[in-house]
Chains A and B, each alone.
Chain A
Amino acid sequence: MGQQIELALRQSMHRVVPMLVSFLPGLLAFLLAVVILAVIGVVLAIAIRKILTVMRFDERLAARQTPGVLTNVSEWSPSSSPTLLLSRVVLWLCVLAGIAIGLSAFNASFSDNGRVSLFFLPYVTHIVGATLLVIAGTLLARFLARSVLIGAVNAQLQYARFLSLGIKWLVLVLTAAMALEHLGIGGGVVELAFGILFGGIVLTLALAIGLGSRDLVSRSIEKTIEKPSALNPNVASTPETAQPPLRHF
């Protein structure tokens, strides 16, 4: 009995150790490629930043462009500096190139062992894709939540925070479902859970808006009969209210 167990373990080790031996060089090659390209990227980014600073690139570009315009590069550059934007783009391009080279090296090291390679490599790319999805979804959720919160507060809705939270979780649930589907986890369970959650949030929001928007509707009607409101820039007075006109502009 003992001998049989020992034999089984030994055979198992004989199968796993060569697999690990063939896996580690690929992993090391991947890490090495990423690190080397990242270092090259940092060096290039520093060099580009110094050259462009000496050339007064930001000032020259700003002189040619109009402040406040969407097409202005400075408007969406980090810290309003196109130099910083360019250097960061170069850095991240190098890092992405390193990842691509590393994955290629990883794939090459598994060319003689199709089973692991076939399972592992596509999964790595799926993980990267899912991570990007989650990052984009989180950013979008935060942006939309703030937009809704500010819009609702300025429309004087009492349930502004609730609306904002609803929108945020709507986008987060959608993002999570997309990421899980991308990873191939859960299958039908994820779809079903997503449908229930999404439908639940939409129904809750619809009920909240339907029940809570009475104030908004009444204010809208009040506006049409020209009742003064804080949010109208040029409010006129009516004989009934006899209030002095209020002009913001």
Chain B
Amino acid sequence: MSTSPAVQPAETATQNAALTLACLPALTTEALDATLSNLRRAFPDQPILVATPDAAPPSTANVSVIAYTPSATSQSSWVPTAADYLNAFTLAREHKPRAILLLGPDCGSVAPETLRRLAAGVLDDHDLVLPRYPVGPHDALFNSAILYPLTRALFSHHVRFPLPIDAALSARMAERLATGAQRLTANGQGDALVWPVAEASVAAYTVRDVAGEPRTLPAPNAGDLNFLLANVAGSLFADIESKAAFWQRARLITTPARISACATHSTHHDANPLDLAPMIESFRNAYTNLRELWSLVLPPNSLLALKKLSIAPAESFRMPDALWARTVYDFLLAYRLRTINRGHLLGALTPLYLAWVASHLHLVDGDPATAEQHIEATAAAFEADKPYIVARWRWPDRFNP
């Protein structure tokens, strides 16, 4: 399980003194040069060790570059996976840095300021520091609909992107994540997603998200939304299920001090509205065909609300936040109880998610500030409805109108 660093003797002194280790994914020569240049600018006075699976370019005064052979490989092209977390820990164990920067695909576009903030967060004794990149009102919709609200409600952390592209880890955080990742890679699941915020919550480690400068957001390989949604939502649901003993305990939710100060959305207003008719039509078609299937998962109240939504005109198409929160919780519960086949369950969630997207985009109308407010309102609805999922998780057979 060890990596094979090819280090020149002259660089050993720099490596021993390095506070920060940057683990890079496989990059093109241009992207690697850009990343190294940004790292140099981010840490001009601080020794830094950079590990790359590619051929290592020559080191400079404070940036020492080593090539390593990954102990586990991943085919994912958009976020770090179990294999990446395991490789990062293996490298950290060998070089013992204080902060580990795990950079995702297209990391050549990560600004020096972002790199500095990430590393500084860990050096300030935080265990997990995640960047909050500015996104447009039409970006990261799945994160806004499910990943962020669920993580915030169940794990009490206001981390805006719980499935990070880049992350900064302390040594003990890297070790904790690698323990879970090792099980996955041993089972041939090197591409499995890892949920560092949930893991940090369970371990009572400190988590912080910092504002990031704009970066190229890598796109997933698979072009099919159904597959991606099932993959990501299934992974999150499985992680939540495995940590049920933790999140069922009542705990105070930490109030974010930064929401208004650092808006996550970019200030760019999209003047051209999206054509939402196909998404709304898709939901109506799904309501006609999947009503019986949904009735196995959702309570009558939710089904009635969905019926009203399906007959609502496109101009007033609006899915209430409480309905969306309740729907996701019921799907989470059905995932746990295996009410229907899990593949079918996640497939049946897709049209409901598209309905939320249509409702969100209709409400937002290209305005970043409104988008931010709505995402926060959605997350607040998940928090408000948390007692419901806790109660139904414990007593799933109790009467539920």
Within the assembled complex, what's the spacing in Å between the Cα atoms of A152 and B220?
Answer: 23
Please give, as numbers and ranges, the residues of chain A lying within 8 Å of B270 by CB-CB distance: 244
User: How far does the alpha carbon of A249 sit from the alpha carbon of B239 in the complex, in Å?
Assistant: 19
B242 adjacent to A248 (CB under 8 Å): no
- B-chain residues with CB within 8 Å of residue A153 when the two chains form the complex: 285-286, 289-290, 351
Contact pick for A234, options B187, B219, B341, CB 8 Å: B219
Contacts of B45 in A (CB 8 A): none
Does A3 reach chain B (CB closer than 8 Å)?
no
Residue B130, interface by CB 8 Å: no
Knowing A66-B187, A68-B235, A153-B351 touch, does A244 contact B136 (C-beta < 8 A)?
A: yes
A31 to B338, CA, bound (A): 35
A156 and B183 CA atoms in complex are apart in Å by 38
User: For the complex, what is the distance from the CA of A153 to the CA of B350, rounded to whole Å?
Assistant: 10
Give chain B residues whose Cβ lies under 8 Å from the Cβ of A242: 272
Q: Do B347 and A151 touch (CB < 8 A)?
A: yes
Is residue B203 within 8 Å, beta carbon to beta carbon, of the partner chain? no
Q: Which of A62, A149, A248 contacts B293 (CB 8 A)?
A: A149
CB distance from B210 to the nearest CB of A (A): 22
Residues of chain B contacted by A79 (CB below 8 angstroms) = 337-338
Count residues of A near B (Cβ-Cβ below 8 Å). 39
Against A, the Cβ 8 Å flags (1 = close, 0 = not) of B17-45 are 00000000000000000000000000000
CB atoms of B228 and A249 under 8 A apart: yes
The reply to whether the CB of A147 lies closer than 8 angstroms to some CB of chain B is yes
> Whose C-beta in chain B lies nearest to the C-beta of A149?
B289
Among A154, A158, A247, max chain B CB count under 10 A is at: A154
Using an 8 Å CB-CB cutoff, how does the interface string of B258-291 with A read, 1 for contact, 0 for none? 0000000000001011110011011001101110
Given A80-B338, A247-B139, A249-B140: A154 and B226 within 8 A (CB)?
yes
**Is B323 in the interface zone, CB < 8 Å from A?**
no
Q: Contact check, B347 vs A150: say whether CB atoms are below 8 A apart.
A: yes
- With a cutoff of 8 Å between Cβ atoms, the chain B residues found around residue A143 in the complex are 341
Check B341–A69 contact: CB distance below 8 A. no
Please name all residues of chain A whose beta carbon is closer than 8 Å to the beta carbon of B139 when the two chains form the complex.
245, 247
B238 and A68 within 8 A (CB) = yes
Residue-wise interface mask of A (218-249) relative to B, using a CB-CB cutoff of 8 A (1 in contact, 0 not) = 00000000001111111000000111111111
B136: chain A residues at CB < 8 Å are 244-245
Enumerate A51-85 residues with CB–CB distance to B below 8 Å. Answer: 62, 65-69, 71, 79-80
| A42 at interface, CB cutoff 8 A | no
B192 touching A150, Cβ below 8 Å: no
Q: Is the CB of B275 within 8 A of A246?
A: no
On whether the beta carbons of A158 and B285 are closer than 8 Å, the reply is: yes
For A246, list chain B residues within 8 Å (CB): 138, 141, 274, 361
Determine how close the nearest CB of chain A comes to the CB of B280; give it in whole angstroms: 9
CA distance A23 to B309 in the complex (A): 65
Complex partner residue of B278 from A149, A229, A244, A245, CB under 8 angstroms:
A229
**Is B315 in contact with chain A by the CB < 8 A criterion?**
no
State how many angstroms separate the Cβ of A229 from the closest Cβ of chain B. 7
| Nearest-Cβ distance from residue A46 to partner chain B, whole angstroms | 22
How many Å lie between the Cα of A67 and that of B138 in the bound state?
Answer: 32
- Given the interface contacts A154-B347, A246-B274, A248-B141, does A69 sit within 8 Å of B289 by beta carbon? no
Q: Is the CB of B338 within 8 A of A156?
A: no
Which residues of A in the span 137-183 have a Cβ within 8 Å of any Cβ on B? 143, 146-147, 149-154, 156, 158, 160-161, 164
Given contacts A154-B347, A244-B272, contact A249 B219 (CB under 8 A): yes
A230 touches B239 (CB 8 A): no
What's the Cα separation between A115 and B142 when bound, in Å? 70
B232 within 8 A of A: yes
- Asked if A146 and B366 sit within 8 Å, CB to CB, the answer is no
Q: Mark B194-216, 1 if CB is under 8 A from A, else 0.
A: 00000000000000000000000
* B187 proximity list for chain A (CB < 8 A): 66, 69, 71
- For B340, list chain A residues within 8 Å (CB): 146
In the complex, the answer to whether A66 meets B142 with C-beta atoms within 8 Å is no
In the bound complex, what is the Cα–Cα distance between A159 and B321 (angstroms)? 31
Q: Mark B139-151, 1 if CB is under 8 A from A, else 0.
A: 1111100000000
The verdict on A66 contacting B183 (CB below 8 Å), with A154-B351, A232-B223, A234-B219 known, is: yes
Residues of A within 8 A of B338 (CB): 79-80
Give the distance in Å from the alpha carbon of A59 to the alpha carbon of B187 in the complex: 19
* Bound complex: CA A160 to CA B223 (Å): 22
The smallest C-beta distance from A72 to any residue of chain B, in angstroms, reads 8
Chain B residue numbers with a CB within 8 Å of A150 are 290, 293, 344, 347-348
Q: A-B pairs with the 7 shortest C-beta distances?
A: A150-B347, A68-B238, A244-B270, A234-B219, A67-B238, A230-B279, A247-B139
Interface residue ranges, A against B (CB under 8 Å): 62, 65-69, 71, 79-80, 143, 146-147, 149-154, 156, 158, 160-161, 164, 228-234, 241-249
User: A69-B189, A152-B289 known; 4 other A-B pairs, CB under 8 Å?
Assistant: A147-B343, A151-B347, A154-B347, A234-B223
Interface residues, chain B, with chain A CB atoms under 8 Å away: 78, 135-136, 138-143, 183-184, 187, 189, 192, 217, 219-220, 222-226, 228-229, 232, 234-235, 238-239, 241-242, 270, 272-275, 278-279, 281-282, 285-286, 288-290, 293, 336-338, 340-341, 343-344, 347-348, 350-351, 354, 357, 361, 366
- 5 A–B contacts from the bound complex (CB under 8 Å): A243-B274, A247-B138, A247-B140, A248-B141, A248-B228
